[in-house]
Amino acid sequence: MSQLPTVGHLIDGKIVTTGTRAQDVFNPATGKAEKRVLLASKTTVEEAIASAQAAYPAWRNTPALKRARVMGNLKVLLEQHSDELCALITAEHGKVLSDAAGELQRGIENVEYASYAPELLKGEHSKNVGPAMDSWSEFQPLGVTAGITPFNFPAMVPLWMWPMAVACGNTFILKPSERDPSSTLRIAELALEAGLPPGVLNVVNGDKEAVDTLLTDPRVKAVSFVGSTPIAEYIYTTGCAHGKRVQALGGAKNHAVVMPDADIANAVSALMGAAYGSCGERCMAIPLVVAIGDATADAVVAALTVEIAKMKVGPGTDASSDMGPLVTKPHYEKVKGYVDQGEAEGATLVVDGRGVKVAGHEDGYFLGPCLFDHVEPGMVIYQEEIFGPVLGVMRVKTLQEAMDLIDAHEYGNGTCIFTRDGEAARYFTDNILVGMVGVNVPLPVPVAYHSFGGWKRSLFGDLHAYGPDAVRFYTKRKTITQRWPSAGVREGAVFSFPSSR
């Protein structure tokens, strides 16, 4: 039996394959291990940090235009290698190729935004704030920064982070998910090909040992994270306790409100993709529909049932597949357990995807789309983030009742409303306590030149991910006030603020 290929680390511009700890990387469509990924020790992470620290002075002083040109080169390379990258994503995550392509495209848009660094890093200037005195502010990089990213978007989420960080003049340590590391590492190699100097971007695969090293090493000045809320809270509190700037994006339980006047056919079409796309493994997925009135709920459930029956579950490499497998066997068992629990709690299981079998892929982690009706707020399937292809329908009488439900939930990542009523939409968007809101848009993910982030326990930290907030997160403001007295003119002691004279 041949040895499995090894996925290593990228440190100081070189692939590193030394180390004793490793774990299997599975193809979720077959259930078979196809690679081994090395898990970095504390020493290995410290080597990456040292490489980033050594590269920082020269990179910090590289003109912003030259840093931006690297991002422009990378955008071209990502587009040229898109088929290769999407194949890597699908092989390790399981999502269908079209979904992988959409993920990669949104990542490329963030690279493109980072290429605007010379414009984004412009400071502010005021002349003559006092006699012969000028004042200005500028945005300077932090130093060594780090990102810890999840399995569900192995290309897009890292591209939310490090391109802007390095475009701002920082160096970066990326700790991707060990479940699907290959596309992340390949993109880092392309960054070197695009002209990124060795040490500016380092990739270490690993587990908690790697994470804790990044959180506690004083050379790391800022950490960005995307993942579950319990881990986000740990990342935030631990990083802050060690003096770091931290943004930690956590979990979600996104509600879609369907009003009685909504275009039900369009709403259901949108909900199908939002609930079951990427097998529901998205923090912006819609796992809950809040229908206003029983007639609306009946129509939505009936239409969803018809559309679900048309879905094809299969390997992501099959162009006819609408939905692929879940990422790992433990995650499959966890999601299946939520369906079991929903039944036990009394929700009506309208569509049961637990019996799905895919011919030729009997050992894959396939769970078909599931649909519950009559979900209640006290149920575990309502309260907890399932992160799988499970959609629940709730029934309320009024829009205000729906909004009260959403506002009471601990998560506040995303939500949406389907309606033809502009007054209702305006009231909803203005008053709902959620960070990202859609009107007839089920996945209101901001484009690259806006910023992404939720409210409540969906985000720890003050700044959102990517977009304008990323520039502020990866830089610190410095304000300089300068005066050049006229030749031969000397003043006596001044006991007031000089700019107030």
Strand partners, 174: 147, 203
- Give φ, ψ of 219 to 5 degrees: -75, -20
DSSP 355-401: T---TT-TTS-----EEEES--TTSHHHHS---SSEEEEEEESSHHH
DSSP 45-98: HHHHHHHHHHHHHHHHTS-HHHHHHHHHHHHHHHHHTHHHHHHHHHHHH---HH
Nearest Cα residue to 171 out of 146, 188, 134:
146
16 with 8: CB under 8 angstroms?
A: yes
Continuous H helices in 61-207: 64-80, 82-93, 97-114, 117-120, 156-167, 182-194
State the Cα–Cα distance between residues 55 and 48, nearest whole angstrom. Answer: 11
DSSP assignment letter at 318? S
Give exposure, 366-389, as e/b (b: 16+ Cβ within 10 Å). Answer: bbbbbbbbbbeeebebbeebbbbb
Residue 283 designated active-site: yes
| Helix (H) or strand (E) segment spanning residue 327 | none
Q: 279, 283, 370, 416: which one is catalytic?
A: 283
State the Cα–Cα distance between residues 115 and 109, nearest whole angstrom. Answer: 10
Nearest Cα residue to 92 out of 289, 365, 479, 305:
365
State the Cα–Cα distance between residues 281 and 269, nearest whole angstrom. Answer: 18
Active site residues: 283
